[in-house]
A and B are shown apart, each in its own frame.
Chain A
């Protein structure tokens, strides 16, 4: 009875019901402030446990919160970028007990959030509504010690409050998302916006962007929303997509078989590839929200809002358009993908800078998307002048692609000057004569393969390129080798 779920949104049934996923996302983004939301402790990572604390973020008796101006600025930037209305807002206490909560209440925003309404358009052009984006403080971190590492096997837990009080903005979308892939596109674009506005570094794997998903299913054409489930512990885009696909199938199977979806919170188990029930949301917790008496309302006023708008800079959609315009005629699917990658990581300025210094746009784009982006998660960057020089060297034939990538890796790791690095490694591209000699040598060593290539087995070009690369220790340029092979074939 379990229906097979092919790729795509709708899951056809034996009796021809087309199901539609209704997905909403709640994203928590850590703000890139210098200090915490309500105190002057540093907003930093990797410190020794409990060394970055004060009476306020520890919630010591007698302590009081004071709001960080920059957190408000960044929250407003997010709201502006998401086309929200920025309103006078106030704080509320959300009361519940948990060891990572120093006060056993969280200071958050409830019915008067700073940003209301709005929308986001994914790179694919889907528009998703935004309900609200509000400020709140983060909790401390618990680690569980015992037989297994999961909370349920633990013998005891240890709490570190270094991250307690870090500023967060929670962005809640309308349930406008209709597929796991669209959810992924939404998160991608949201991360790009967070990076572009300087509000957050947008790193999901590091936890500075956390995604919880709400999903329900309904027959296509039906307007009513069905009961939904919430999925937590989505640590990557891949988990997001997998979890939503899994949960969609589960719900469709359940409802198709005549069952009912119970509103619950699910934990996504990446290793097992399934959702696990955490608690039933029928017993919704009573947080007893009331206005935070230790804080006063925030009314940014028209002038500050104008400053935020004016200072916002280009948003991802505009950045993509700008970069694609520069790519111009070379634009193909690969380039579009590269542009997307580059903008999500805020690296489009590097491409632009390289091009301004004379580097070819296609090459600059490819190198940034494929080489720099992969390594820049640690905040590593490369000097635009050095980068542009390297690209010029490669484009001019002074270095092969492989050599250029090696030099680039060193630039990223240690900086320096590309010519010096290339010289140190004895890099120089091969002259076409010496290249021809090596190709000839390899051909004579492999007559059987050469014969087959001559007869049209084009795939064997790769074999020969590989051999030539090996023989030249990477100094040969793959494209030149291919050209040489074709020339010899005639």
Chain B
């Protein structure tokens, strides 16, 4: 990437700011310059909050000057996916229906970031209401993959992935319901991680599928991703599904390695993948073997049911979560003589085709006479999968597999066939259904020179291990480059 040099790492930057070696203002100004330079081509950002970012940066510099410690991410510029509520700052969720909506409150994670000294510089592009795997479903145009602007960055957190991959910012937050952090991380060559369900508060995350959604970090390094996770994780009394005991990971233990760990290469996440993707997974398995782990092949056939179960549960919950967009209290309104027609006209004009499709699918799956066969059945499949994965974790400590079946595809390649787009999620969906954490770490390129990420899956509360395994893989890549 030409132009200004990419951002330094987040922890490195924070250390410099806290020690006074570098001003937060400078860090933020440089980030804003990089955005001004690269984003016209990439379109990763929907809104850039220049003024408030500089103000926040100044505040941090003042705190440092007075001998205070503004926090572990002091002065670090960060981008937030546009489904995270930011008070007074437009939060569109990639949709026309919220194109001009300003939330009157901050998401809990936004408050946590501010307390840690991080500086939000803008809101990133996404598939509308997080429904999609390419960011082509945004009402405001797609985001380009920094590796090749004719290709998608993945989705739904495509903007966040691209903002980090392009070096505009060192950190970004995304959300992951069926793979929306991990898949774009893989396609863009950055680290992306989905925490245990409930480890990060969902208060202020605009809901897509409530029992699957989680907020998670994007970063260029595993260490930075872990540091960001540490800032956002923890119990929140405003979220009833928040775990009472979600703990930060010990950054000092990140390099503990995988000696003695049992790793299972998950057959269902290797077979049927593109050959170059499968090859990377096998290479990653070798790396872990050489690092002292015992590596086996393992099969969990129930994983194959995940795709269908997900495409019943997620749209069903979404159809209910999106009912509130009715033109009454906020957002777009299309006038009509009576309120029901106003609702219907507003939603027709405000939602894109993918959202409409999923609302229809979800409404159908919940409707009288069909509930048991579809939604009810999908919830039972979920139990089956959780139990099957539980059995697998009786034999291994972590699973290894592809994150995405292919490298980044070209824009428009899958937009005509929703089903083929849905299949992009086959590797990532299981962790959403089980609520367990998973990470994608870039390990190399495909035949087309585009990045490939490998996925590590662990049981619930397994964040420490998932970062450790990712570190070993990252080290192997670094040592060969």
The chain A residues found within 8 Å of chain B, CB to CB, are: 55, 58-67, 93, 95, 97, 99, 102-105, 157, 159, 286, 288, 290, 293-296
Contacts and interface: CB of A to CB of B under 8 A. Distances in A.
A159 B328 contact: yes
Contacts of B203: 62-64
Interface in B75-117: 83-85, 91, 93, 98, 101, 103-105, 107
B288 interface: no
Given A55-B104, A62-B103, A294 B320 contact: no
Contact of A286 (B104, B316, B329, B367): B367
Nearest to A157: B339
A103 B323 contact: yes
Interface residues of B, number: 43
Interface in B197-246: 202-207, 209-211, 237-241
Q: Please provide the 3 A-B residue pairs with the shortest distance between their CB atoms, ordered closest to farther.
A: A104-B323, A293-B210, A288-B366
Nearest to B344: A97
B433 to A, nearest CB: 13
Contact of A95 (B101, B237, B323, B375): B323
Contacts of A293: 209-211, 241, 317
A432 to B, nearest CB: 72
Contact of A97 (B101, B316, B323): B323
A65 B206 CA distance: 14
Contact of B324 (A102, A159, A286, A294): A102
Contact of A62 (B205, B320, B329): B205
Which of A62, A294, A296 has the most CB atoms of chain B within a 10 A radius of its CB? A62
Interface in B286-340: 316-317, 320, 323-324, 326, 328-330, 339-340
Nearest to B201: A64
A25 B247 CA distance: 50
A396 B318 CA distance: 74
Interface in B388-439: none
B323 A290 contact: no
Contact of A105 (B85, B205, B323): B323
B205 A296 contact: no
Contacts of A95: 320, 323, 366
Given A61-B206, A296-B240, 17 more contacts: A55-B103, A59-B324, A60-B103, A61-B98, A62-B84, A62-B85, A62-B105, A62-B204, A62-B206, A65-B240, A66-B238, A66-B240, A97-B340, A286-B367, A290-B316, A294-B241, A296-B241
B367 A61 contact: no
Nearest to A284: B368
Contacts of B339: 99, 157
29 contacts: A55-B105, A58-B329, A59-B324, A59-B329, A60-B103, A60-B105, A60-B329, A61-B85, A61-B91, A61-B98, A61-B207, A62-B203, A64-B239, A65-B240, A66-B238, A93-B320, A95-B320, A99-B328, A104-B324, A105-B320, A159-B328, A286-B367, A288-B320, A288-B368, A290-B317, A293-B241, A293-B317, A295-B241, A296-B240
B93 A61 contact: yes
Q: Describe B's contact surface by its main secondary structure.
A: loop
Contact of A288 (B105, B239, B241, B371): B371
A60 to B, nearest CB: 7
Nearest to B347: A97
Which of B93, B323, B368 has the most CB atoms of chain A within a 10 A radius of its CB? B323
B455 interface: no
Contact of B366 (A55, A67, A290): A290
Contact of B210 (A61, A97, A104, A294): A294
Contacts of B107: 62
Q: Describe A's contact surface by its main secondary structure.
A: loop
Contacts of B85: 60-62
A167 B298 CA distance: 50
Nearest to A294: B210
B240 A64 contact: yes
A66 B237 contact: yes
Contact of B343 (A58, A65, A97, A102): A97
Given A60-B104, A288-B367, A294 B240 contact: yes
Nearest to A142: B339
A105 B211 CA distance: 17
B363 interface: yes
Contacts of B207: 61-62, 294
Contacts of B211: 293
A288 to B, nearest CB: 4
A62 B207 CA distance: 6
Contacts of B237: 66
A88 to B, nearest CB: 16
A297 to B, nearest CB: 11
Given A63-B203, A288-B371, A102 B329 contact: yes
Contacts of B316: 290
A102 B103 CA distance: 15
A152 to B, nearest CB: 11
A61 B328 contact: no
Interface string B245-284: 0000000000000000000000000000000000000000
B250 to A, nearest CB: 29
B326 A288 contact: no
A64 to B, nearest CB: 5
